[in-house]
A and B are shown apart, each in its own frame.
Chain A
Amino acid sequence: MSKAFTGGFLVLILGLLASCQSEEEIKRQKYFVEGLRLYTQHCANCHQPDGKGLEALYPPLNGSDYLVNKEKVICLIRYGMSGPIEVNGRRFNRPMPANNQLTDIDVAAITTFIYNKWGNEKTITDVRATTRVLDKCRK
């Protein structure tokens, strides 16, 4: 094999890999970056930039066993919640305000950010799935 051929082959493979990855991966990164921006703006004041919450006032998202309730999480991002909950064995009882100004795609981006960052997910929670959940809990 000539060097030129090997080189050309490598470029081709790399090009293929990049384009393979791109569609899905670029979409995921878009959701993630937008989710990070919205999280910083709407959530991080209480839940903190590192997602660890504040004492017994604001529960953690990072390392939180509450994330298994994904539909509840999607709903409470938009509609808020009140009454006591238990996170990692600790009781929290402060109301979370609703964020009615967030659109379905905003909620999808925030959910994607949270679950990719702290929930071991590698894929997006897309807007259609989010809308289906939000429709169920719409108040």
Chain B
Amino acid sequence: MVPALAALLAACSPKDDRLPILGEREPVTKTVDGKTVTDTAYYSIPPFRFTNQDGKVVSDRDYDGKIYIADFFFTTCPTICPKMKTQMKRVYDKYRGNPDLRILSHTIDPQHDTPEVLKEFAKGLGVAGEQWQFVTGPKEEIFKTGKSYMVVAQEDKAAPGGLIHSGHFILVDKDKHVRGMYDGTTEEGADKLMADIDKLLAEYHHE
């Protein structure tokens, strides 16, 4: 009784602190050591390929083995983007220089937001180096990538600036599983994100 209970507790307790894995999942049947076992395949971010503020190619491969936060914005957006960048800057300042954590901001207005414009924006925000990437690419690719992060990014003639997009920050783990979505327009949302980043960093630290 007691060992069984202890085993149960041991199996459960580390998991209590773990962040959930979001997105659709499906059972996968495979053969291990001659036996048929069923495992769960979790949703993961599909491959992507964009150009960053330094004009360099950035792809999903650059984020292998990294925790990262993704978001969508455009530099001339007068509504929620400044709030999101205010909050993301707090996150950046807290984890500046941490080799495990990156930030990936996608512009949804590639026509205006060329790498040069993104560079100027990053500099203005006080961001240097590779930890926080600002990327651009073909519009359809960006909108498709938005969907892959389970957020909205699209054109809308009625919106100020002609584009609408979600104000979410998406937390992605080292295996490209989505581990959390946060309101990027509020201090509370960013606080929650930072608390969860600490938890996620600790998961890898313990393993």
Contacts and interface: CB of A to CB of B under 8 A. Distances in A.
Interface stretch (B7-15, B23-31, B72-80): B72-80
A95 B82 contact: no
Contact of B126 (A45, A56, A95, A97): A56
Nearest to B80: A45
Interface residues of B, number: 14
B82 A46 contact: yes
Given A45-B78, A46-B78, A97-B78, A54 B123 contact: no
A11 interface: no
Contacts of A54: 82, 85-86, 89, 125
A45 B82 contact: yes
Contacts of A30: none
B121 interface: yes
Interface string A26-58: 000000000000000000011010000011111
Given A45-B83, A48-B86, A55 B76 contact: no
Contact of A94 (B83, B89, B124): B124
Interface in B124-138: 124-126
Interface residues of A, number: 11
B79 A45 contact: yes
The SS class assigned to the B binding surface is: helix
Contacts of A56: 123-126
Contacts of A45: 78-80, 82-83
B82 A58 contact: yes
Contacts of B76: 95, 97
A75 to B, nearest CB: 18
With a 10 A CB-CB cut-off, give which of A54, A56, A57 has the most chain B CB atoms.
Answer: A57
A44 B86 CA distance: 11
Nearest to A56: B124
A55 B88 CA distance: 13
Contacts of A95: 76
Contacts of B80: 45
B126 A55 contact: yes
Interface string A93-105: 0110100000000
A83 to B, nearest CB: 14
B124 A57 contact: yes
Interface of A: 45-46, 48, 54-58, 94-95, 97
Question: What 10 pairs across the A-B complex have the smallest Cβ distances?
Answer: A57-B124, A46-B82, A56-B124, A45-B82, A55-B126, A97-B78, A55-B125, A45-B83, A54-B86, A57-B125
17 contacts: A45-B80, A45-B82, A46-B78, A48-B86, A54-B85, A54-B86, A54-B125, A55-B89, A55-B124, A55-B125, A56-B123, A56-B125, A57-B85, A57-B125, A94-B124, A97-B76, A97-B78
